[in-house]
Chain A
């Protein structure tokens, strides 16, 4: 009698279910890479995708290149904020890296001729047994500069790490 023969039928069904879920879970994660929006600066979604993937890969230079010069500059009517240099940004990307990155989904995109806003849902794994994740919404503002889209909202790399 093998070890599997000792297991009762419901437990064997449970183990089969676990096996199927494992395979489908891995396949679904791998498939996501092929179905996600193209990472390019021709569209607001493509720009945000490039930024998020660069941040999660720890590529601070690529992420910095997508940020508009005004992203960290004080604007009229708004209290002045500390100006983020490229080195500061790189340090932030390196120091905020987490072992497990969050899931990032697009919720909505609003676009006009030269400006756009991309609403994102960022879900971090958590110990909450009911949901398994904590979710927050992040709004990313973009502007068109010379035919390509660049991010103008505050660069908080830790949001996507």
Chain B
């Protein structure tokens, strides 16, 4: 059975790919000829022969195998519910969905560019339109087929997971298109508005960004509505893939918003310190800040938006899951903020060490204000973010969460690796100095040792602090005492009197979470 299914769907997928490629290219070749456009192929007859052959072979093969697959699915519910069939359907949907995104973006870009006079290739619009129409027709057919299958035999286990991979993958792609398109569009608008007198030709940057954003809206909008409608919404409520997709997006948004904010502050600080062209920007500062400002606005808003979505998702589930999502979010932001703070602190020490050691060695000192502006900015962005998201001694329910342990161990790992690598460099340069290698006389090893020491100091400080937190967390964990004799149960009892409660049907973590809600001053011991 499985071998037969594998054969049918593999052949169907391969021949379907041939049909799509043939149809799109044959259509675009014909359109080029009709519109008298420059064809991408030197010989049009060759193109007709090649793509015609691909269709003539692929179409009957796909037609026959797909007809067999449909006939078997009509006869047998197991066949319709099989994971291989769903794999075929969702792979085809994903491939055609991504291709639609690419061609739709091109179509909107060319059409808007044509209207605005920044693009003169009218034939490109027809070509992209043809590809979008062909792909959309096949995508709709397969989407409808998957929907019918779901209605008839349901979707659970591997089949549901495959659907989630498709849905949340496309949702992620659509959101990425939407956010990056919006960011680029905002940047271009900024440049065109503040530097209007200096722009000779606006070019196709606005249509390109606009096309990316609008394509993203369509792809994201459709899949967002689809996954939030019944019965898929209920089915995916506790889906790990759904949470992973949102946290991945959130991580990207937080990182980019912090990056943009750092760049903005860096430009501001550098200008305050009298740097005319911070970071080597050749354009005016008002134009240069367009990119970081657009990044902060778009990804900052997306950060808030996704955070609310996560809260809403958690709100629909039980309290422990809500708390888990909240903890994961705060620890994720704390980790990114700490990384920013650490790079800033190490960079400041690095730059200061360079200045001091170069002066002592009577070397010419490089420009320091630009670097100091950058690293102070990273500290200014990272420090408040870390202080507002990190808690050294949180309540017990947060203290032993997986996300906190992940944060602590990831930070420790990063610190240890940074200290190890810098330590090795420090010793290598120290040996070079002692043994008098070729560059020892110039003092280069001393400069390198100063730089390595900057990283070691910051990594050691962060590592030691988090190691102490980890130890403190371990100490705060209530001991699990194995007892030989179980005391007699006591029913009732006032405040201050000890009680023995026997709980069955719950895990230790669930019991700990329930007990963490006891009033301050209450003590308990868990015994097996």
B126 within 8 A of A: no
Residue among A17, A29, A100 making CB contact with B182, cutoff 8 Å: A17
A74 within 8 A of B: no
In the complex, the answer to whether A24 meets B189 with C-beta atoms within 8 Å is: yes
In the complex, the answer to whether A125 meets B204 with C-beta atoms within 8 Å is: yes
Distance of A123 Cα from B192 Cα, bound (Å): 13
A103 with B119: in contact, given A18-B182, A121-B283, A125-B205 (CB under 8 Å)? Answer: no
- Contact residues, B166-217 vs A (CB, 8 A): 176, 178, 180, 182-189, 191-193, 195-210, 212-214, 217
In the complex, the answer to whether B225 meets A103 with C-beta atoms within 8 Å is: no
Q: Which residue of A lies closest to B229 (CB)?
A: A6
Distance of A52 Cα from B118 Cα, bound (Å): 13
A29 with B202: in contact, given A21-B185, A24-B189, A129-B180 (CB under 8 Å)? Answer: yes
A1 within 8 A of B: no
In the complex, the answer to whether B185 meets A103 with C-beta atoms within 8 Å is: no
Which has the most chain B C-beta neighbours within 10 Å: A7, A31, A129? A129
In the complex, the answer to whether A6 meets B225 with C-beta atoms within 8 Å is: yes
In the complex, the answer to whether A21 meets B189 with C-beta atoms within 8 Å is: yes
In the complex, the answer to whether A25 meets B305 with C-beta atoms within 8 Å is: no
Q: What's the minimum C-beta distance from B233 to chain A, rounded to whole angstroms?
A: 11
Q: What's the minimum C-beta distance from A54 to chain B, rounded to whole angstroms?
A: 11
Which has the most chain A C-beta neighbours within 10 Å: B191, B205, B312? B205
In the complex, the answer to whether A30 meets B197 with C-beta atoms within 8 Å is: no
| B132-171 to A contact mask, C-beta < 8 Å, 1/0 | 0000000000000000000000000000000000000000
Residue among B109, B186, B196, B201 making CB contact with A21, cutoff 8 Å: B186
Which has the most chain A C-beta neighbours within 10 Å: B119, B187, B188? B188
Residue among A24, A31, A105 making CB contact with B198, cutoff 8 Å: A105
In the complex, the answer to whether B205 meets A123 with C-beta atoms within 8 Å is: yes
A14 with B305: in contact, given A29-B206, A101-B201, A123-B203 (CB under 8 Å)? Answer: yes
Distance of A69 Cα from B189 Cα, bound (Å): 39
Residue among A11, A17, A36 making CB contact with B197, cutoff 8 Å: A36
In the complex, the answer to whether A132 meets B118 with C-beta atoms within 8 Å is: no
In the complex, the answer to whether B195 meets A105 with C-beta atoms within 8 Å is: yes
In the complex, the answer to whether A105 meets B200 with C-beta atoms within 8 Å is: yes
Q: Which residue of B lies closest to A34 (CB)?
A: B196
A125 with B208: in contact, given A28-B192, A100-B203 (CB under 8 Å)? Answer: yes
A143 within 8 A of B: no
Q: Which residues of A lie under 8 Å from residue B176 when comparing CB positions?
A: 129
Distance of A28 Cα from B112 Cα, bound (Å): 13
In the complex, the answer to whether A99 meets B110 with C-beta atoms within 8 Å is: yes
In the complex, the answer to whether B283 meets A107 with C-beta atoms within 8 Å is: yes
A102 with B203: in contact, given A18-B217, A131-B291 (CB under 8 Å)? Answer: yes
Q: What's the minimum C-beta distance from A114 to chain B, rounded to whole angstroms?
A: 23
A101 with B119: in contact, given A107-B283, A132-B208 (CB under 8 Å)? Answer: yes
B76 within 8 A of A: no
In the complex, the answer to whether A26 meets B206 with C-beta atoms within 8 Å is: yes
Q: What's the minimum C-beta distance from A23 to chain B, rounded to whole angstroms?
A: 10
Which has the most chain A C-beta neighbours within 10 Å: B117, B193, B200, B212? B200
Q: Which residues of A lie under 8 Å from residue B193 when comparing CB positions?
A: 28, 31
A60 within 8 A of B: no
In the complex, the answer to whether A58 meets B185 with C-beta atoms within 8 Å is: no
In the complex, the answer to whether A107 meets B282 with C-beta atoms within 8 Å is: yes
A100 with B305: in contact, given A29-B192, A52-B201 (CB under 8 Å)? Answer: no
A155 within 8 A of B: no
Q: What's the minimum C-beta distance from A122 to chain B, rounded to whole angstroms?
A: 8
Q: Which residue of B lies closest to A125 (CB)?
A: B208
In the complex, the answer to whether B217 meets A29 with C-beta atoms within 8 Å is: no
A71 within 8 A of B: no
A152 within 8 A of B: no
In the complex, the answer to whether A132 meets B184 with C-beta atoms within 8 Å is: yes
A106 with B182: in contact, given A58-B120, A131-B291 (CB under 8 Å)? Answer: no
| B106-125 to A contact mask, C-beta < 8 Å, 1/0 | 00011011001111110010
Q: Which residues of B lie under 8 Å from residue A30 when comparing CB positions?
A: 116
Q: What's the minimum C-beta distance from B212 to chain A, rounded to whole angstroms?
A: 8
A48 within 8 A of B: yes
Q: Which residue of A lies closest to B217 (CB)?
A: A18
Distance of A22 Cα from B112 Cα, bound (Å): 11
B321 within 8 A of A: no
Q: Which residues of B lie under 8 Å from residue A13 when comparing CB positions?
A: 305
In the complex, the answer to whether A48 meets B109 with C-beta atoms within 8 Å is: no
In the complex, the answer to whether B201 meets A53 with C-beta atoms within 8 Å is: yes
Q: Which residues of B lie under 8 Å from residue A100 when comparing CB positions?
A: 109-110, 113, 118-119, 203-204, 207-208
Distance of A121 Cα from B121 Cα, bound (Å): 24
Q: Which residues of A lie under 8 Å from residue B213 when comparing CB positions?
A: 18, 21-22
Nearest first, the 4 closest Cβ-Cβ pairs linking A and B are A100-B204, A132-B184, A103-B203, A125-B208
24 residue pairs A–B, Cβ–Cβ below 8 Å: A14-B305, A17-B301, A18-B213, A25-B188, A26-B112, A31-B192, A32-B201, A33-B117, A33-B202, A35-B197, A37-B197, A49-B200, A99-B110, A99-B120, A99-B204, A100-B207, A102-B203, A103-B199, A103-B204, A107-B282, A123-B205, A125-B203, A131-B291, A137-B282
